[in-house]
Amino acid sequence: MRKTWAERVGAWERGELEVVAARRAATVLLLRDEPAGAPAVHMLRRRTSMAFAGGMYAFPGGGVDPRDERPVRWAGPPLAEWAALLGLEPAAAQAVVCAAVRETFEESGVLLAGPADAPDLVRDTTGPGWEADRTALVGHELAFADFLDRRGLALRSDLLRPCARWITPEFEERRYDTWFFLAALPAGQLTRDVSGEADRTVWLPAAQAVAGHDSGELSMLPPTITMLRDLLPYDSAEAALAGAAGRDLAPVQATARLDEAGSVVLTWPGHGSFTRTAAPGGEAR
């Protein structure tokens, strides 16, 4: 029988819970400028049947594939710089960046890549050939390195700006160590509603998405709404990307305790507004 959330937290506090290793993951906030000036963000509503964050609005992203560590054609800051920035070994840093680009293509059809022999970007990722490759990547029939190589493309790491890192709490059954990135929608490319994990995709100005969350209309996990609120001061995608420079990438991870009534009190360091209390009988998420 599945344990309730309170039971899992209690076992975790007593040192009786086997902590699940957090899987490395990456997610990307795709931005585009709107006529009103504020950048809009591409969001997906995860199907309610999904085991993790079902029914929640999120950004394209997912777990690192072990094959993401394979050497790829690369453009932008060298791996040593990415490793220092993300606090990882070079191979692991490459895997996180590759996962960000690969998952964005898999879930939105947008590819942050360009010809290996020219400072340019892919302009159009529609058509049967692109869709066949995207589907093969989703089905793990094609490694991302092989996909780039046979198309003569280089991953454009210079288009990504890391902006945060969040880790799922230790008492959860499914855990992710997720890096968040910003990227502007490349000229000529369009997002497509192709994610099998989503039942809706939408472009929303950051302020509208935040208002939707605050009114209860749009359900989001704490890192999602935090990323959106961080965009509010910026009037363009370019300004948002520039503002990501020097962002604190120290991991944010929630902690929990049981109060005297046996309820779970969940807190995120540095994000007091997210503090939640769940009744003792509440089901684990």
CA distance 140 to 264: 38
Name the least confident of 15-29, 51-65, 136-150: 51-65
Query: What is the structure's pLDDT at 261?
Result: 76
Residue 282 DSSP symbol: P
* DSSP summary character for residue 77: S
The pLDDT assigned to 36 comes to: 72
Confidence of residue 52 (pLDDT cuts 50, 70, 90): low
Q: Which residue has the higher pLDDT, 28 or 171?
A: 28
**Both structure tokens of 170:** 């230790």
Pull the structure tokens for residue 264: 């779970």
pLDDT digits (tens, 9 = 90+) for 219-229: 998 899 999 99
Q: Which helix (H) or strand (E) holds 57?
A: strand 57-58
* Lateral strand order in the sheet of 264-267: 255-258, 264-267, 276-278
Better pLDDT: 50 or 271:
271
Tokens 């066949």 belong to 132
pLDDT score at 279: 63
Exposed/middle/buried for 135, CB within 10 Å: 0-12, 13-18, 19+? middle
Task: Write down the domain spans for the chain.
Answer: 19-252
- What is the band of 285 on the pLDDT scale with cuts at 50, 70, 90? very low
Which one, of 138, 177, 183, lies nearest residue 156 by Cα? Answer: 183
Q: Which two structure tokens, joined as six digits, stand for 37? A: 């000036």
For β-strands 57-58 and 39-46, DSSP reports them as antiparallel
- Span 45-67, average pLDDT: 80
pLDDT over 60 at 96, yes or no: yes
Q: What is the CATH number of domain 19-252?
A: 3.90.79.10
pLDDT computed for residue 173 by the predictor: 83
State whether residue 135 is helix, strand or coil.
helix
pLDDT digits (tens, 9 = 90+) for 9-18: 777 777 777 8
